[in-house]
Structure 1
Amino acid sequence: MIKHIVMWKLKDTAEGKTKKENAEIIKKRLESLKGKVEELKGLEMGININSSDAAYDLSLYSEFECQEDLDKYQVNPLHLEIVKYVKKVVQDRKVVDYIV
């Protein structure tokens, strides 16, 4: 099992929307992939409530059976459409993938 975790810091404003609005948009769009992307075995999104400067604004926790499935997800057209928007509103991104 592969765990794929991503954290984003969002721009204060982007695409005519606030950070909070963009976080909600990204969350909703990524959650919409459940049941549409076969390789995606689990997905959980979280919008940060921690006020620390070290905190990121949004996180994704997702699960895949194997690396090949994660690789397929990365190039899935539904995922890539969301990535286009995310790139416009994000100022920083961190990712970790690990095997359990």
Structure 2
Amino acid sequence: MAIGEFEYLLLAVASSLGEDAYGASIRKRLMAYGYPRSVGAIQTGLDRLEKKGLITTRLGEPTAERGGRAKRMVQVTTAGTKAAVEFYDMIHTASCGVQWMENMR
């Protein structure tokens, strides 16, 4: 299944966060990478990934830091991992031999 850059980033970050993957932690990590996105954009992206079967979500326990609201926990599915690997491989393959790569060395 083909995915885009933003979907890839959401999958990669959620995977790297593991059990700590939820909207705010994903947003914080994206911001640290210099890729700031709104809470709404992240939630919309997660909705899209879930509809495609690339992630599953569940409500975590309510937390005091969130005023008693539960976090929407994210887990990457096997299909999500496969889609992310395919996207990464495509970008890597397409980047081999491009002029700017030669100029970077």
TM-score, with structure 1 as normaliser: 0.28
Instruction: Answer 1 or 2: which has greater strand percent.
Output: 1
With CA pairs under 8 Å and 6+ residues apart, which has the higher RCO, 1 or 2? 1
Query: Larger radius of gyration, structure 1 or 2?
Result: 2
